[in-house]
Amino acid sequence: MPLLKTGGLAIGLGSAISFAEALRAPRKEDKRENTEMADYIENTENSNSKGNTGGLVSMLLVGGALVAALGGWWYQSTQVTMVRQELAQTQQKMDQMQSQMATSISAARSDVSAAVANMNEQVDLVRKDAVAGARNAQVTAKRQAGAVLNTLSAKNKELTEQIDQMKTENAQKSVEVAETLNGIKGEVGTVKTEVSATRSELSATAADLKRAFGDMGVMSGLIATNSTELAALKKLGERDYFEFTLPKSGGPQRVGDIRLTLKKADVKRNRFTLDVLADDKRVEKKDRTINEPVQFYTSAARTPYEVVINEVRKDQVIGYLAVPKVKAMAKR
């Protein structure tokens, strides 16, 4: 409980109030006490007038007591007045605080109401914006869907036209292919006839082809003595053939994967002398005759290479080189 300070005296608020209420007692008691005090003084004075000199001292003592009582009463009255003033000030402050609190509460309520109203307005605006946005989105979606449908329709139409055109073109191509196949069938028949004739020619030519022992004592393949027989050998495909015309001048000449050099050509005797360069080795084939297989080995094949000269002219010879097929397989 708060204390009230009155001069040098500190009392509680409840005690001060109780004290103030006690001081508010009816003035009748004060009057009665004063009357009794006056009667007592009067009786004392009467007795003193009858008494001795000691009565004067008693009267003085009584007067001093009376003065002290009056001073105490005045002091208490002053204290009560001060307590009442402080109580009034306290009450005034409390009233001010209550007024300020009421004003603050009213202002807070106004602020809260304004904030709630503002929030409600914002919520309404957001709802309106959301509704408007949803409507706009629906409108936009419908427009886009319509545009997509139009595009798809145009694409479908275009694809249909392309498919129809392709069908027409395929029909035309089918007719052309059928005509081409009929032509090819006719050509195949012609080719078959030509192949049969060629086989007959090859059979007749092969019957004229001969085999002979080469200069190395190895039985050679079929030997061609002229261009017709050489063409037949090429068609048979037993070996690879390289035709050449080898002059005496000019140095080594590449034929296939070897080099040949003509050193001598004897037209009267149909003889010749060659140098063969293969695998960085030089071999001389001296004084050979026409249509004689001139044989030599290389590291690329197990069977010998063969050079056949069909014609000897002045300072040159004409013939071919026969290379085994095994050579090509060895490279693979």
Cα 247 to Cα 213: distance, rounded to the nearest angstrom:
26
Q: Is residue 295 a contact partner of residue 324, using CB atoms and an 8 Å limit? A: no
CA atoms within a 13 Å half-sphere pointing along the CA-CB vector of 285 = 26
Cα 218 to Cα 304: distance, rounded to the nearest angstrom:
8
Q: Is residue 305 a contact partner of residue 298, using CB atoms and an 8 Å limit? A: yes
CA atoms within a 13 Å half-sphere pointing along the CA-CB vector of 20 = 18
pLDDT of residue 11: 47
Domain range annotation of the chain: 3-115, 227-331
Q: Is residue 217 a contact partner of residue 293, using CB atoms and an 8 Å limit? A: no
Cα 181 to Cα 183: distance, rounded to the nearest angstrom:
5
pTM summary value: 0.40
What lies within 8 Å, CB to CB, of 49 at 6+ separation is 55
pLDDT of residue 254: 96
pLDDT of residue 127: 86
CA atoms within a 13 Å half-sphere pointing along the CA-CB vector of 119 = 6
- Residues in the chain, pLDDT under 50: 1, 4-11, 26, 204-205, 207, 328, 330-332
pLDDT of residue 280: 92
pLDDT of residue 153: 84
CA proximity to 257, closest of 216, 318, 299, 218: 299
Task: Return the structure tokens found at 206.
Answer: 């092969």
Cα 185 to Cα 320: distance, rounded to the nearest angstrom:
38
Q: Which CATH class is domain 227-331?
A: mainly beta
Exposure string of 81-92, with b = 16+ CB inside 10 Å and e = fewer, is ebbeeeeeeeee
For residue 285, the one-letter residue type is K
> What's the alpha-carbon Rg for the chain, to the nearest Å?
76
pLDDT of residue 5: 47
Beta strands in 95-157 (DSSP E): none
